Every structure is written in structure tokens, then in C-alpha cells.
Structure 1
Amino acid sequence: MVGQLLREMERLADHAGLSFPKVVERMSSRGPRVNKSDVTRWREGRSLPRADDAVLWAKVCGGEVDHVAVLHARAEPAFEEWKKNSDRRRRSGGSSVADAAPKVSAGRAVSPATDTVGQAGGLRWRWVVTVCAIAVLLVGVLVWFEVAAEHDLSSPAVFTAESCSWPQRPLPPITWTAPSGTRRQVPLMYKVPSGPDSTDVVVEAGGSVLQPFVATAPRIDQVAAIIGIDSQRADDRARHPIRFEVVEPGQAGTPPRLLGQGRAEVTQDNVNKDLPVTVDVTVTPGRLYVLRVVNEADVDPIGIYMNRLRGNGRSVAYDADGCVIGGILPFDAAGWVLSGFVSATS
């Protein structure tokens, strides 16, 4: 388990194109200071990263935070025993599979008087073949357990984006038909208003709300969210920057991928109504994507509106709860979705 965690951290840094010193530098700028010597001790198996350090490592490398957190939770109780074995291997100079394999004498086999030399040779070769077959079987079993532990095959498959995850469910069948004539605008992929069943979720600077949706057309041209400003928490005369992202979620070990983004500002002129931003993102009809709305302010929180999952006025091809990251007040997003829209063109 410990080896899986360390290999995953190394893989994330390599995938992000970051050297270990660079990862350490970025971690130190976002949290408690981490030294290069700490990383050396982790890699040599002399100490285990703290859970916060492992999660922060995943964040700065753009990896799946939840996956790393699970690996750390598994590694922590196994570390002391793993460390003892690691120290023992270092003192003995290491061992290989070949060193541990049974030795077969090159001399003539000792056989009962009734055996011939040919019979003894045949028995010896059958014994060698049997040992090799057992070794191959054991390697296969070990590899399976390694893969199962790495990807948690016992758990249901999920879609992931940032630290959010959603169980994979059957997607609705989508048949794309290009509009005829010169009209290129097509029905909205996603539309949820505000209203009496909605609430504004207070999100801190750097926080976000993520909402899954299913593409019903090959291109996205606009996305929007309904956002408010609480004058008791933020300067309602200032311009509050918001970043919108269209993300292809990760699954089965594949990390999420940013497909496109755009920016807008919340002001008194557009508060508490759809705040649209133009994007140009190519998608595949029938596949799941995620709209991510990020508060880019340095300090001020904002209120991002969410609505009940069911009711009148919704245009949603796939019902999935929204996800809140960095909410200032406790909020259970189960049964709530982002108030906003995703607009499509052919």
C-alpha cells in the first residue's frame, strides 16, 4: 500500500511535467512549508507523507485528490511494517526474484534403482515446468491484487472532477440532428433557473461549484450561472471575477481534462441573474461533461445559486447533484443543482 502511494505521487509529478523541487516549491506557497529533505525521506521509505501533504501534492500536480487520499488512508496503518521490510532489504543489499527462485541441480538426478536415466530426466523437467507454471500463476495473482488495490475495483465506477465524484449511471440516449436552414441555434443542453426553491451557496475566494450535464449537440457556445453578492460579506460596489470551465471528467484512472474556459465579472448590473460567458468548446453528443464555476476573487466570497433537482422550468437531460468546494457555511448539495445554463450550437 505504501509503495502504491509513493508511485502515484511520482506518477502525478511526471504527468504534470514537474520536478520534485518544483512540486515542493508550489506546495510551500499554498500550505505549511515542505522541505526537499522531506521528499527524499518519503522516496527512501524512511517516513510517510502526512495526509495533508499527500493531498496537496495531488492538487499542485492536477491529480485526483480523492484517489490519493484513499491510497494514504490505506498506507498509513501499513507503514511501520513496510518500513521494517524496506530497511531489511537495504541492509541485505536487496534481493531479486531470481535469487529467491528454487535452484535446480545441473548434475544427474538421484533416482531409485528401478528408474532409468531417461525417466529421471523426464521427472526433473516435469518438476521444473510445474515450478515455472506455479510462479507464473502467483505473479498473475499478485498483479491482479496490485491493480485492484490501485483502482479499487470493488468500488462502483465514478466520474471525477477536482475533489468531486459522481457514480456512473446509464446516460440518456442522445440523437443529434443538425438544424435545417440557416438557423444554427439549438435547444439548451442544460437550463435550471433560480426561484422560490433556490438558495445562494456562499463560496469563498478560490471556491467553486461543479455541475455535470450531458452534451446534446457537438458544440457549446455559452455557459452561465446565477450569482449574487452579499453586502454583509463582500463589497457590492466592486467587480467580482468569475471563471467558467467546461471539463471532461476523469474516470477509471484517467484524470479530468479542461476543454475550454471563459471569464466574466459579477457587478450590481448583473447580480442575481444569468451571468453568461462566451466559449467555443467541441463536445460529443451523449457524453457527460462538467460545468465548473470558480470564484476568482482575492478575498470576497460570492453567492452561487443552486436549485432543487426536480420541478418546473428545468431542461436537464441528465439529473446529477451539483458539488460545492470551499463553501463558507455548511451545505449538503444532495438534491441540488447549479442555477444557470449551457447553450449549444451545431
Structure 2
Amino acid sequence: MIRSTDLDSFVCCAVCSKIIPPPPSNATFDRIREYKPFRTRYYTHRDILEIGASIQQEERERKEAEIQESIEKMKAELWSQAEQYKEDAVDKALTEATANYNAFVQDLKLKLEKEVKEVVRKAKAEMKEYMEEEQRRETEATEQRMAHKLRCALLECAKEKMQAVAEARKQEREMALSEAAMQHRKHIEQLKEESMLAEELYRKTIEQLSKGKCNEMNVALSVKQKENQIEMEKQMKELQTVHLEELEKVMITLRTAEGQVKALEQKLERMRAWKDSLETEIQATRQAFQKYIDATFPNLSPGQADFILPLRTTFEPKDIPKEAEGNDDECKRPTTESMRVTAMSKQHFK
């Protein structure tokens, strides 16, 4: 099997798989000229390889020819199918083109008909507008001519009217001036008479008003005095009522306070009686207990049993008034008393 395409290195055969080196160069070949078996073997293998290569080349050419023939057949079939597809596509395209052309022609006809109708309608409308505009212009021109004539006639009438009015005003002004002069004279005389009458009437009115105002002021003063007197009486009555109510409240409060004071005094008396009874009972109890100690422990020395009955002070309230102190002097008892309290002897405790 050839390893490379340049035939420089190859194997001997498929059995030994021995790699044969490339042929030696001319210089080397001269030195190994006498080694004939190597040369013979080299050329033999080379011939074998050439034969194998030629066989492979023929096989390759045959396969290529078969492949080329198959390709030609496929090309022919494809070309025939393509021609068939082409004819079908051309027929279909012609049919579609014909249908599209007919539809386009129909649409174009409809569109042209619509455009023609629209153009005719627009032309009629424009013609109508043009006729109306011409008629309007003629009417306006006629109206303007009539207005101009009427304006001229009115101007002439106005001029004549102004002249007539000016003449009439002039005549009226002259008549009015003469009449005004006469009225002025009459008015001056009338004013003089009226001024004299007004002065007399003014004096009389002033006198009457002064008298009436004096009477009104006197009446108002008397009424005001009466109202003030009535108001003062009302206020005095209200003050008396308020004073009586406050006095009644104070008396009620005073009576309530007196009742509370009496109740407190009674309570205080009861507490004093209870205190006296307690003091008496305590003194009796101490005396009895002292007698018991004296009888039970006669040998105790003084001071040994003071822890049993310590000295006691009686309760004296601090807030008792001085008047009550005089009444309580009779009920007082000695607060302290010297009591002999003995203690048990050490032998007895043992």
C-alpha cells in the first residue's frame, strides 16, 4: 500500500507491512552497486505497485463513467420534468394573467365610468355655480344702481329738508326769544311777590316749630324721667330679691354647718367616753397583771421584769380646744405610775 503520492516511501506487501525506504541516490547507488538482491527486490515491488495503481485507476475511471452516466440520466429526467413543470407553469400563468387582465379591464371600466360620472357631475355643478354667480353679479349690479339712485334722491331730500328745518328753526328762535323776554319779565314780578310771601311764611313756620320743639322736649324729658325712675325701682327690687336669695343660701349653709358641728361634738364626746373606758380597762389590767407577777415571782429584784410591762403614756389629743380642756380635767388620770416589776432569778430561769 502506497503511503504517499510521490512514491518515495511504500510497504513491501500486505502481509509483512514492512516499510521500504526510497531508492538511493546515484552516489549511494554506486557504492551499493554490488547488492543485486536489493535492487531486484526494489524493482519487483515497484512493478507490483504500478500494476495495483493502474488497476485502481481503471476501477476509478469505470466508477466515474458510471456516475457520469447516472448523472446524465438524472439530468435528462430532470430536464424532462422541468419542461413539463415549465409548460404547466406557463399554462397556469397564462390562465392567471388572462383572469387578472379581465379583472383589471373590468375594474378599469368601472373606474372610468365612475370618473366620467364624477367629471360630468362636477361640470354640471361648476356650470350651475357659474350661472348662479353670474345671476348674483347681475343682481348685485342692479341693486347697486338702484341704491345709487336712491342715495342721490335721499341726498336731495336731505338738502331740502335741512334748508326747511333751518328756516323753521330761525323763525321759531325769533318767536321764542320774544316770548322768553315776556315770560322773563312776568317771572321776575312773580318771584318778587313769592319771595315776600315766603319770608312771612318762614317766620311763622319758625315760630311754630320752636314752640312745638319745646313742647316735645318737655314731654320727652318727663317721659325719660319716669322711665328712669321705673328702671331704678326694678333694679332695686331685683337687688333686694338677689340679696334675699343669697341671704337664704347663707342661712341654709350656716344651719348645715351648725348641724355638722353638733354631730362632730357628739362624735367627739362618744370618742372621749370610749377613750376613758379604755384607759380604765388598761389600768385595771396592768394592776391585775402586776399583782399576778408579785404573787408568782416574789423573789425578783426591781427592774428585772420591766420588759413585760414597760412604762406607758396615755393618749392626749393635740387639737382639743382650750374650753374643752377645762371640762376634761376632772376625767384625767395620772399618765404614768411607778410600778414595781421584778424579774425571775437566774435559778428560776434555769
TM-score, length basis structure 1: 0.20
Normalized per residue, the structure richer in strand is 1
Greater RCO, 1 or 2 (C-alpha within 8 Å, sep 6+):
1
Q: Which is higher, the Rg of structure 1 or of structure 2?
A: 2
